[in-house]
Amino acid sequence: MGAQGQAISVEKSIPCIARQPILTAEENVIGYELFFREDSEKQRFTSDADAATSATIYMLNFVGLGVMCDGRLAFINSTRQILLSDYFALLPPQSVVIEIQEGVPADEEVIGACQRLKQAGFSIALDNFVPGDTREALIPHARFIKVDITRVSPEDSSALVKLYATEHRRMVAQKVETRAQFATAGSNGFTRFQGYFFRRPENLRVRQIPANQTTYLRLLAEVSKPKVDFVELESLIKREPSLCYRLLRHLNSPLLGLSTPVLSIRSALNLLGEHESVRWIRMATTLVMGQEKPSDLVLSSLVRARFCELIAPKVEHGDSDLFLMGMLSLIDAILAIPIGMVLDELCLEPNIKEQLLCAKTGKKTILSPAYDLMVAGEAGDWESVTRIGKQLNLSLSFVAKTSHDAMRWAHEITAAARPAGEPDIARVPPPG
């Protein structure tokens, strides 16, 4: 009884956490800003930033920065009170950027705290910086200065970049949601960009699928059929050396503890069985198709897939393949191909296909509640998470825990999929 009560207490203390990527001009993810809600049991979002930050620092210790941020930098908002406390000492300094919020006075205590934190190895960012900002005295300690490009004009943004950007101080454009904004911010001198602009490919007017992606789509099409043809599956995998390598490496991993090595694709598929073969191929093809894209696209696809799979037993229409719905929800951005063209190549159940198409138009389907919950939780739209969670009869503590479990699983998958010899980014200080 006591153990069960303790488990319930721990679950109730889990904060809802969302993350938004920060990228270079080459669209490489260097970190994530974390957005949080300090109590997943509350039905309304509260603005107690101190409680939210302290709860999140606790959660990062519990879940791990490597999982929550995939080994990249963690940008964590800080008020004056948190800045002057010892909370950040609980986190690995080389992986954390402390974002000093607007309104925090640049008084002697704050300046002293910035000096101590910087000496300890933490990085400092000034959030929502504007012309004439009262935090100017903190600039010598800042590694990042973040500018909301929807609040500051292009002319003023350019002036801020010219004034403060150095080799060791990066200017971050915030709220970059379109390719046009990305281009403008880049021309104004910004070298770091926060937002989901990269999920909106520049050109989706292609008329045919690129040759190098055809085999992967054929693989996805094959494993989407009601009955899988293992002979055809083996043939398709053999055409792609990278997939052959990944499959054999996966099965010969010490984690699986197999007594004899797996040396052929046929024996690998037989060993996995139909269900696990289908599951593995879906993940592996997504990883390979997205290897030239921002890492967040593939990572988010995996998080979405696992999240949907975990909520499926508890929601109406959960007997649909919600894992596949989440996995394919970003496939148009990964391939830079219109979603309709991709889906034409796949034999999907009608409900899944309808939802993936309607997600682009806003039209609702019977799977929209599950899909919308997935997107709202990822974006940190807590009001929508609360509303949709009630509709699906899912508690916020369950949604929060499921999100964390999905992040952990996706991180493990991507880490295991890295080629042998490639450094684990979670173990080396990421570049800023």
* Paired tokens of 91: 């986190």
Q: Looking at residue 265, what is its pLDDT?
A: 82
* Predicted local confidence at residue 94, as pLDDT: 93
Residue 329 is predicted with a pLDDT of 93
13: pLDDT strictly greater than 60:
no
Model pLDDT for residues 152-206, shown as the tens digit of each residue: 999 999 999 999 999 999 999 999 999 899 999 999 999 999 998 888 655 444 4
Mean pLDDT of the 119-147 span: 97
Q: Check pLDDT > 50 for residue 10.
A: no
Average pLDDT over residues 107-120: 96
Looking at residue 1, its pLDDT comes to 36
Q: Is the pLDDT of residue 300 over 70?
A: yes
d(Cα 242, Cα 63) in Å, to the nearest integer? Answer: 31
Q: What average pLDDT does the segment 97-114 reach?
A: 95
| CATH class, range 10-199 | alpha beta
pLDDT at 199: 81
pLDDT value, residue 345: 80
pLDDT in the model for residue 215: 76
Q: What is the mean pLDDT of residues 94-99?
A: 95
Which pLDDT does position 257 carry in this prediction? Answer: 60
pLDDT at site 416: 63
- Flag whether pLDDT at 114 surpasses 50: yes
Are the C-beta atoms of 357 and 340 separated by less than 8 Å? yes
Backbone dihedral angles phi then psi of residue 67, each to the nearest 5 degrees: -75, -50
Kindly give, in sequence order, each residue whose CB lies less than 8 Å from that of residue 399, ignoring residues fewer than 6 positions away: 16, 40, 311, 373, 377, 385, 389
Which segment, 122-136, 220-234, 277-291, 335-349, is predicted with the most confidence on average?
122-136
> Which range is least confidently modeled, 109-123, 157-171, 248-262?
248-262
Highest mean pLDDT among 236-240, 282-286, 398-402: 398-402
Q: What number is the average pLDDT over the span 129-149?
A: 97
Domain boundaries along the sequence of the chain: 10-199, 211-394
Kindly report the length of the chain. 432
Q: Determine the pLDDT at residue 220.
A: 86
Higher per-residue pLDDT: 343 or 6: 343
- As a whole-number percent, the residues of the chain with pLDDT over 70 amount to 81
What pLDDT, in 10s, does the model give residues 332-373?
888 878 888 888 888 888 999 999 999 988 999 999 999 999
Neighbours of 240 (CB within 10 A): 18
- pLDDT score of 270: 83
Q: Which residues contact 33 (CB under 8 A, 6 or more apart)?
A: 19, 20, 22, 75, 76, 77, 99, 194
In this prediction, residue 64 carries a pLDDT of 74
d(CA 301, CA 225): 21
What pLDDT does 255 receive?
A: 54
Residue 285 has what pLDDT?
A: 84
Asked whether the beta carbons of 325 and 351 are under 8 A apart, the reply is no
Between 394 and 265, the more confident residue is 394
pLDDT at 326: 94
pLDDT value of residue 237: 83
Please tell me the distance from the alpha carbon of residue 253 to that of residue 273, in angstroms, as a whole number: 17
pLDDT of residue 206: 47
pLDDT in tens, 18-63: 889 999 999 999 999 988 764 444 444 445 666 666 766 766 766 6
**What's the pLDDT band for 424 if we cut at 50, 70, 90?**
very low
Q: How confident is the model over 82-95, as pLDDT tens digits?
A: 899 878 888 899 99
Note the pTM of the prediction, 2 decimals: 0.77
pLDDT given at position 393? 95
CA 137 vs. chain centroid, Å, equals: 34
pLDDT at 253: 65
CA atoms of 318 and 310, how far apart (whole Å) = 10
Rounded to an integer, the average pLDDT of 100-120 is 95
Mean pLDDT of the chain: 82
Does residue 65 have a pLDDT over 80? no
User: Side-chain half-sphere of 402: how many Cα atoms within 13 Å?
Assistant: 23
